[in-house]
Chains A and B, each alone.
Chain A
Amino acid sequence: MQHDIPATPRRNISKAELFFGFLKIGLLGFGGVAPWARHIIVEERRWLSDREFAEILGIGQVLPGPNTINAAVIIGDRNQGIVGVLLCLVGQMAMPLVIVTALAIVYERVATIPEVGAALIGAAAASAGLVLGTALKMIRNIRPTPLSYVIGAAGFAAIGLLRWPLVAVVLVLVPTAIAATWWERRK
């Protein structure tokens, strides 16, 4: 376990710092943004301690929307209100949008080269493994209760195996999960 790096004493992070910090996070975030967000926010800039960052990322995770986008909204709001939110979001999205569009344009011209397609598909196949491996790792680390396993397995089966529509599954599964968790805790 790494030791907790203390954040610098509580101060408001300036608008420019927020924008350029998230610009860098977006630019570096290959294969998932969260590890890079932690690197910049906790280790490099010391805006937050590890514990504070994990809390915010946790909130971002349970809300709809990408967790690092939600974390950017919360961090922006805490420091510079609504303007901070916009700066963090634009900062995080700007470079990736330019890069992905440029790649798509280049790809259209070189799509007929078999090696290009094979490399892209190979990296994407690895990305699927990255998602599966990360999910399994998180399951191992949070040590779910038996009820959590049932809830998680139901979600996996409904969407992954039966391929039911997501909206319907969420509308049924989330209230059921909340009710079951509440009922179990009450005991």
Chain B
Amino acid sequence: MTGVLAELARTFALLSLVSIGGVNALLPEIHRQVVDIHGWMTDATFASAFAIANASPGPNVIFVSLIGWQVAGLPGLLVATFALLIPSSVLAYFAGRVLTRWSHHPAVAVLRDALIPVALGMMLASGLSMMRTVDRDAVTVLISLATTVFVYTTRRNPLWALGSGAIVNVAALHVL
């Protein structure tokens, strides 16, 4: 038990420091660690945990909390959550102070211009990884692609797309 908790802490604390672009950008790596390397979850439980986290409000961090919960109960949830949040928050605490004070300095502008495309590239990769994780048939692939177009072309509340995705996939269960 303690071994699992220590391993959860080590895994997510390290990921915390490279999570530029947030937890969604980490998804491919989280899948690699949780399913491929540690074998804490199967592909199917990983996908359903991801879906449950997506159905809840709040920051994407709660997906990692849920992995901790499913691996080691409440201690696992707390360890995974703190491991993911503390290193990056400590960094944000100090970097936020520095960047706030020097926001007009040329070096900060270079940093920003260099990191924004990295973050966007990772976000695209993570969208693809999310599709790999949850899309199992033509219907779900179509839901993903239709939502991509919906979000890209309209400014409507994304909840419409999430709700429609759920309804369409349930309907497909009965029609197909």
Interface residues of A (CB under 8 A from B): 26-33, 55, 58-70, 73-74, 77-78, 82, 85, 89, 92-93, 95-97, 99-101, 103-104, 107, 111, 114-115, 117-140, 142, 144-145, 148-149, 151-156, 159-161, 163, 165-167, 170-171, 173-174, 177-178, 180-182, 185
- Collect the chain B residues with CB atoms within 8 Å of residue A159's CB: 28-29, 121-122, 125-126, 129
- Collect the chain A residues with CB atoms within 8 Å of residue B99's CB: 59
Contact A148–B148 (Cβ < 8 Å) = no
Q: How far is the CB of A15 from chain B (nearest CB, A)?
A: 17
Contact A92–B116 (Cβ < 8 Å) = no
Q: How far is the CB of A56 from chain B (nearest CB, A)?
A: 8
**How far apart sit A28 and B56, CA to CA, in the bound complex (Å)?**
9
Report the nearest B residue to A27, measured CB to CB: B57
Give the interface SS of chain B, mostly helix, strand, loop or mixed: helix
Number of chain B residues whose Cβ lies closer than 8 Å to a Cβ of chain A: 105
Q: Of B57, B95, B168, which is within 8 A of A63 by CB?
A: B95
Interface residues of B (CB under 8 A from A): 14-26, 28-29, 32, 47-62, 65-66, 69-70, 77, 81, 85, 87-89, 91-93, 95-97, 99-100, 103, 106, 109-131, 133-136, 140-141, 143-152, 158-159, 161-170, 172-173
Contact A100–B119 (Cβ < 8 Å) = no
Contact A166–B28 (Cβ < 8 Å) = yes
- Collect the chain A residues with CB atoms within 8 Å of residue B133's CB: 124, 128
The residue in B50, B89, B167 that gathers the most chain A C-beta atoms within 10 A of its C-beta is B89
Contact A26–B58 (Cβ < 8 Å) = yes
Q: Of B18, B167, B168, which is within 8 A of A64 by CB?
A: B18
